[in-house]
Amino acid sequence: MKIVVGHLYPDYLNIYADRGNIAVLARRAAWRGHELEVRSVSVGDPVEPGEHDLLYVGGGQDREQALVAEDLAAKADGVRAAVDGGAALLAVCGGYQLLGRSYRDFHGDDLPGIGLFPLETLAGDRRMIGDVLLECELEPGVVRTLAGFENHAGRTKLDAGAQPLGRVLAGFGNDGESGFEGCRAGGAVGTYLHGPLLPRNPWFADWVLAQALAHRLGEPPELEPLGDGLELEAHAVSAGRARTRGGRA
């Protein structure tokens, strides 16, 4: 089965090794006999609802974020329609911020967000940098951990009732106070975790892949297990880092 990924602004938002996340999705799809086709969706390109099974938005520096913010606003309807239609979405760091309602940057300028996630972000004066570990329950009763690295000046505040991606076990998370990290709306997930996120969190890579496949197939897929020894070893080291030195930048 072919899975079509729309990679938003790969030429602008690529600061935290976002191609690592894409590589993991591509290989893990291929090992199950699926093909991941990645299409660039950059400045001026439309998001056609139904075209993509997964939208991916990476992180950028303030300068790059400002360069794409206006263009993203023009794509807002397309992105919302895609997600409403069941496409999966993963947004990391800068991409996560831009998908909220607004982002006030370091210089005090307001960048419009597209309001896909019910949240707002304000740049703080101290960056929150370090290893981070989350506890997630994406399916009722199944609790798993996500390990990554965060580096953001933005303090992200979720609206009341918004669903976070996880609870912070170690590290800062959305704002360093609430104890929550990321935001989830159905098959759309935004998070500050890079590292990149997916190589050392194979269960989550498969969760994202399953959302994308479900959009393509119209039903939840069966994903056969893979030999994830290296991945789990990397996860354990990263989780250990968060426990010993996360949240103390």
Partner 1 sequence: MAPKFPRSSDQWASDSLPRGVRVPFPLAAEIALARAAGRLSRLARAGGGTTVPGKLLWKVDPGAVDRLAARLPLGSALISATNGKTTTAAMAAEILGARVRLAHNRSGANLVSGVASTLLEARGAELGLFEVDEAALPEVAARVRPRAVCLGNLFRDQLDRYGELEHVAAGWRSAVRSLPTDAALVLNGDDPQIGDLAHERPGAAVFGVDDPAVARPALQHAADSTHCVRCGAPYEYAAAYVGHLGDYRCPNCGHGRPPLTVAAREIRLQGLDAVAFRLDTPEGSRDVRLHVPGLYNVYNALAAASLARTLGASLDEIAAGLDRFSAAFGRFERIAVGDRRVLMLLIKNPAGANEAVRTIVDGGAPSLAVIALNDAIADGRDVSWIWDVDFEPLLAGLDRLVATGDRAAELALRFKYGGMDAAAIEVVPSLEQALDRGLELTPADGELVVLPTYTAMLALRKIVAGRGFVRPYWERAA
Does 184 bind partner 1 (CB under 8 A)? Our answer is: no
The catalytic residue positions are 93, 194
Does 207 bind partner 1 (CB under 8 A)? Our answer is: no
Residue 168 token pair:
């912070």
Instruction: Tell me how far apart the alpha carbons of residues 177 and 53 are, in angstroms, rounded to a whole number.
Output: 34
- Which residues touch 38 (CB under 8 Å, ≥6 apart)? 5, 7, 22, 26
CB of residue 235 to partner 1, shortest distance in Å: 9
Say if residue 49 is preceded by a cis peptide, omega within 30 of 0: no
Stretch of 21-29, 108-116, 154-162, 167-175 lying at the interface with partner 1 (CB under 8 A) = 21-29
Of residues 71-130, which lie at the interface with partner 1 (CB under 8 A)?
127, 129-130
Residue 111 token pair:
């960048």
| H helix or E strand, kind and range, residue 128 | strand 119-139
- CA nearest 137: which of 181, 83, 88, 197? 181
Stretch of 71-79, 177-185, 190-198, 210-218 lying at the interface with partner 1 (CB under 8 A) = 190-198
Residue 149 token pair:
């690295």
CB of residue 40 to partner 1, shortest distance in Å: 13
CB atoms within 10 A of CB 148: 28
Does 20 bind partner 1 (CB under 8 A)? Our answer is: yes
CB of residue 179 to partner 1, shortest distance in Å: 22
Q: Which residues bind partner 1 (CB under 8 A)?
A: 11-12, 14-17, 19-20, 23-24, 27, 61-64, 67, 127, 129-131, 149, 151, 194-196, 199-200, 227, 230-231, 233-234, 237-238, 241, 245
